[in-house]
Amino acid sequence: MTNVQELIPQNLQAEVDSALAWFNAHENASFEVTGIVNPPTASNSGEDLRLVLCGEGVCRQETFRVAGSAGSAGAPTVAWLGLDHAQDSLSVAELDPPPGARKAWLADVAGQHSFAVLLFYRGFW
């Protein structure tokens, strides 16, 4: 089961901060981390960091691998892994309506009313 935590575990905070700083610099954006998906149990474990990033009117889930730490010589190395398509089948949230019945329903409702209120919570429809 997917575990999404709103609070970043203290032992992962430095890695998360490095990934966020790298992403904001790379995308010339100002996102904030609002959650972490299936957080690794230990820092510097080499496991992927799956972060929920929100800002500029959107939320997205991005995956990073951080090597080194801010306390070591030099800055940590951040690798942006992008979307892991193997994870798509693990009930990980999509930021767009999923294909199929819900997407068709949404198009139908939008065509019948002048407005519709949708609840989108932290990447889950």
The percent helix, strand, coil of the chain (3-state, each to 5) is 30, 25, 45
pLDDT reported for residue 87:
47
Using a cut of 0.85, tell me whether the model's pTM lies above it.
no
Q: How is 48-109 classified by DSSP, letter by letter? A: PEEEEEEETTEEEEEEEEEES-TTSSSPPEEEE----GGGGGTTPPPSSPPTTHHHHHHHHH
pLDDT reported for residue 106:
76
d(CA 83, CA 93): 12
pLDDT reported for residue 85:
44
CB 50 within 8 A of CB 36: yes
d(CA 11, CA 39): 10
pLDDT-derived band at 91 (thresholds 50, 70, 90) equals: very low
Please write the tens of the pLDDT for every residue from 8-42: 999 999 999 999 999 999 989 999 999 999 888 87
pLDDT reported for residue 67:
85
pLDDT-derived band at 64 (thresholds 50, 70, 90) equals: very high
